[in-house]
Amino acid sequence: MFVFAYGVVAYVVFLLSFLYAIGFVENWVVARTIDGTTRVGGGLGVWLGNAFLLGLFAAQHSLMARPGFKRAWTRIVPPAMERSTFVLASSLLLMLLFLFWTPIPGEVWNVGVNPVGFAFEMLSYVGWAIVLVATFQLDHFELFGLKQVFLHQRGEPLPEPRFEIPPLYRWVRHPIYLGFLLAFWSTPRMTLGHLLFAVLTTGYILFAVRLEEHDLTSVHHEYRAYQARVPMLLPLKPPLPAEE
């Protein structure tokens, strides 16, 4: 029961942090946003402080996702809690970022309130939608730890991973990352703080993709053929046929 409750709490914390992330990036509804006006700064310390917050999240995300860490961690905690712990740690570090992020004023571009600006805004929300849909096309509840604790509660093992290609993954290998890139870069008003956030998260995504694909090729022998046929992030080729 403890493992199950732990997994549910971790998922709820994730859900709250994900919803807050949308408001944070879109400057909408939430108390602290990427361009918030309650406190702003522009000195070197502010740039380094924001970069440090993003670096903490990147370091945790990369370390805890590696197979070696997972093997070591599951000697300490039940394997069913491993994914939930990863999700909880990621969510808490995101909340730390939201709490201590300092907006940096200065506009890189501002297209104004017009159809072009509206299109930028809508494209950003399309990015968030792609992220969410892509998680469900994989296995949303396994990805965020709920499936593991549910099966643990029932005394059932987690099925062995299988190589499958859901619809969005026929266009690009990493639609979740593509969705984040759209969400972070598609804005009618790009401030220096938002640009710092977008540049650093893009750099991390490109780094994380390499690590993730290295792990995938070691688990699924079919992945190298998939790599050769489907683009990594940009849908520049026709999608794989549905029958494949």
- Return the pLDDT at 41: 72
Taking only Cα atoms into account, the Rg of the chain, rounded to an integer number of angstroms, comes to 19
Q: What is the DSSP string of the chain?
A: -HHHHHHHHHHHHHHHHHHHHHHHHHT-SSSS-TT-SSS---SHHHHHHHHHHHHHHHHHHHHHTSHHHHHHHTTTS-HHHHHHHHHHHHHHHHHHHHHH------EEEE--SSHHHHHHHHHHHHHHHHHHHHHHHH-HHHHTTHHHHHHHHHT-PPPPP-----SGGGT-S-HHHHHHHHHHH--SEEEHHHHHHHHHHHHHHHHHHHHHHHHHHHH-TTHHHHHHHS-SSS--SPPPPTT-
Reference 30, options 84, 82, 97; nearest CA is: 97
- Residue 159: pLDDT band (50, 70, 90) is confident
pLDDT digits over 125-144, tens only?
999 999 999 999 999 999 99
Q: How many Cα atoms occupy the beta-carbon half-sphere of 31 within 13 Å? A: 4
Question: What is the average pLDDT value for the chain, to the nearest integer?
Answer: 93
Neighbours of 141 (CB within 10 A): 16
Average pLDDT over residues 105-118: 93
Mean pLDDT of 33-45: 83
Confidence label for 243 from pLDDT (cuts 50, 70 and 90): low
Q: What average pLDDT score do residues 155-166 get?
A: 88
Q: Is the pLDDT of residue 37 over 80?
A: no
* Residue-level pLDDT at 244: 61
pLDDT score at 42: 74
Is a pLDDT exceeding 80 seen at residue 239? yes
Q: What angle do CA 20, 8, 75 make, to 5 degrees?
A: 110
* pLDDT confidence band for 207 (50 / 70 / 90): very high
pLDDT value at 1 more than 90? no
